[in-house]
Amino acid sequence: MPSLEDELFPSTPGKFKIDRAHHTMNRQFHRCFASTSTMFLWALFLIALTASYLSFQSFVDSGSRYFSASWGGIQWEKQVRNSAQIHRSGGMSVLLTGAAGFVGTHVSLALKKRGDGVVGLDNFNSYYDPSLKKARKSMLNDHGIFVVEGDVNDSRLLEKLFDVVAFTHVMHLAAQAGVRYAMENPGSYVHSNIAGLVTLLEACKSANPQPSIVWASSSSVYGLNDKVPFSESDRTDRPASLYAATKKAGEEITHTYNHIYGLSITGLRFFTVYGPWGRPDMAYFSFTRNILQGKPITVYRGKNRVDLARDFTYIDDIVKGCLGSLDTSGKSTGSGGKKKGPAPYRIFNLGNTSPVTVPTLVDILERHLKVKAKRNIVDMPGNGDVPFTHANISLARREFGYKPTTDLQTGLKKFVRWYLSYYGYNRGSKPVN
């Protein structure tokens, strides 16, 4: 019986053995080959069809996001323009990022009260209870301040805002705050404090006219500096936390944009801001909540059992510093992204210049709340906190007359009054928060 090899290949070169069996097998081979080719073509067709569908779906999704965006349209533009209207001679029109935040809300109200135009921007993230931010937004709306819900990383939104309003100033307060949270979610700090800052600066340098910029740096940039009080000329190259590092990076980035594009930029190093409508993650806020609820509070202490101290600064004093910085910011010199001359670049400390220990803070809260705190005293962990802060404010005093007037005793009394009212707390019952 001839082998398969004999059937397919001739035994004598140049000659083929052709018989019925060979012919039948040859037809089966070609049929199989044709069937495989057909399947291959069908596979290619299905792949192409799938790719086309995915491409179309992506287009539909993009379009859906565009048309379902929470901004844009005639009515939206009207709200932006109305909110940005200036109602005093020599006033300014300010785009204020982080408007539903603690400092942002107070600065927005102060600007509006004196007749400046204000348009807010906030992404209402869930770093802390968004309902508090929504309540702030409602208060701003009651005062005629429109807050756009959007992210500072959204370049299209920023471009649209600058297209609708020729802002004279930008007050950039949007940021990922908190020292300890950086150990849990480091990416959020890079996203907000670095990428978001660059996106905003890109929009500002391309705007015509270019706005003057005032933005929130932080006293955290002083890091492991042990020279007190902290002065703007002190070294800031030893950050103790990722938060501090992103703020320090922001100072370097803003200097670059000032140098290359002629943007007028002022950085403000805030020192432990507190007061009504504050941030729930801050110690004074969480202490108040836990004391009222009968829960223990954790009070950290530094090396050698030394009490931690902070330069607590009341919100009204910070607001005065923000407005003073805006009023003296000078003009940007660029146009269409091109520098035409040098522009101001400044950094100021905004503090109270009277540090108070954390145990003393608790003592004051106990007196105002008329409740004794259950204190757990523990050593400070290596989570980015520093043992003390103390601001030298002589530069801000000289440049725009900055002078804090509220001591911690008075400021905490105002905060406690707000807290009890906001959370519907009646003495003798538990708060609703």
Instruction: Please name every residue paired with 274 in a beta bridge, in sequence order, or none if there are none.
Output: 314
Provide the mean pLDDT of the chain.
Answer: 86
**pLDDT at residue 383, rounded to an integer:** 60
Confidence band of 16 (pLDDT split at 50, 70, 90): very low
Positive or negative torsion for Cα 222, 224, 227, 233: negative
Angstrom distance (rounded) from CA 423 to CA 419: 6
Residue from 67, 84, 140 nearest 107 by CA:
140
Whether residue 87 has pLDDT greater than 90 = yes
Using the predicted structure, report yes or no on whether residue 327 has a pLDDT greater than 90. yes
pLDDT confidence of residue 239: 93
What number is the average pLDDT over the span 243-270?
97
Catalytic residue among 128, 181, 222, 243: 243
For residue 415, the Cα-to-chain-centroid distance in whole angstroms is 25
Please report which confidence band the pLDDT of residue 69 belongs to, taking 50, 70 and 90 as the band edges. Answer: low
First to last CA, the chain: 94
pLDDT at 201: 98
Least confident of 130-134, 148-152, 300-304: 300-304
Report pLDDT digits (tens) over 344-374. Answer: 999 999 999 999 999 999 999 999 999 999 9
- Does the pLDDT value for residue 9 go beyond 80? no
**Is 55 buried (19+), middle (13-18) or exposed (0-12) by CB count in 10 A?**
exposed
Measured at the alpha carbon of residue 101, what is the angle toward residues 95 and 107, in degrees to the nearest 5? 55
* Catalytic annotation present for 243: yes
Quick: pLDDT tens for 22-42.
444 444 434 444 444 444 444
Quick check: 176 and 308 in contact, CB under 8 A?
A: no
pLDDT (0 to 100) of residue 399: 98
How far is Cα of residue 105 from the mean position of the Cα atoms in its chain?
15
Helix (H) / strand (E) element for 117: namely: strand 117-122
Burial class (CB within 10 angstroms; exposed 0-12, middle 13-18, buried 19+) of 301 = middle
Helix (H, G, I), strand (E, B) or coil at 218: coil
CA-CA distance, 230 to 235, in Å (whole number)? 9
Confidence at residue 384, expressed as pLDDT on a 0 to 100 scale: 60
Cis status of the peptide bond prior to 209, with omega within 30 of 0:
yes
Per-residue confidence band for 6, with pLDDT thresholds at 50, 70 and 90: very low
Contact indicator for 218, 247 with CB cutoff of 8 Å = yes
Strands 309-310 and 356-357: antiparallel
Alpha-carbon distance of 219 to 248, in angstroms, equals: 10
- Please answer whether residues 363 and 284 qualify as being in contact, where contact means their C-beta atoms are separated by less than 8 angstroms: no
Predicted local confidence at residue 426, as pLDDT: 63
pLDDT level of residue 117 (50, 70, 90 thresholds): very high
Question: Contact at 8 Å (CB) between 277 and 321?
Answer: no
Collapsed DSSP state (helix, strand, coil) of residue 380: coil
CA 138 vs. chain centroid, Å, equals: 20
**From CA 62, how far away is CA 218, in angstroms rounded?**
37
Q: How far is Cα 420 from Cα 407, in angstroms, rounded to an integer?
A: 20
Beta bridge partners of 172: 97, 215
Higher-pLDDT residue of 257, 425: 257
- pLDDT for the residue 73: 94
Q: What is the pLDDT of residue 295?
A: 97
Confidence band (pLDDT; 50, 70, 90) for 303?
confident
Share of the chain above pLDDT 90, in %: 75
**Which residue segments constitute the domains of the chain, with CATH numbers given?**
72-271+314-350+390-405 (3.40.50.720)
What token pair was written down for 301? 């202490």
Helices marked H in 307-351: 315-327
Q: Tokens 């931010």 map to which residue?
A: 133
Determine the number of helices (DSSP H) and then strands (DSSP E) in the chain: 14, 13
User: Averaged over 208-223, what is the pLDDT?
Assistant: 96
Mean per-residue pLDDT, 11-24: 40
Cα angle vertex 104, ends 109, 206, to 5°?
105
CA distance 432 to 426: 10
d(CA 104, CA 277): 11
Q: Residue 280: which residues within 8 A CB-CB, separation 6 or more?
A: 128, 129, 132, 286, 289
Measured in whole angstroms, the distance separating CA 195 from the mean position of its chain's CA atoms is 9
Residue 185 has pLDDT above 80, yes or no: yes
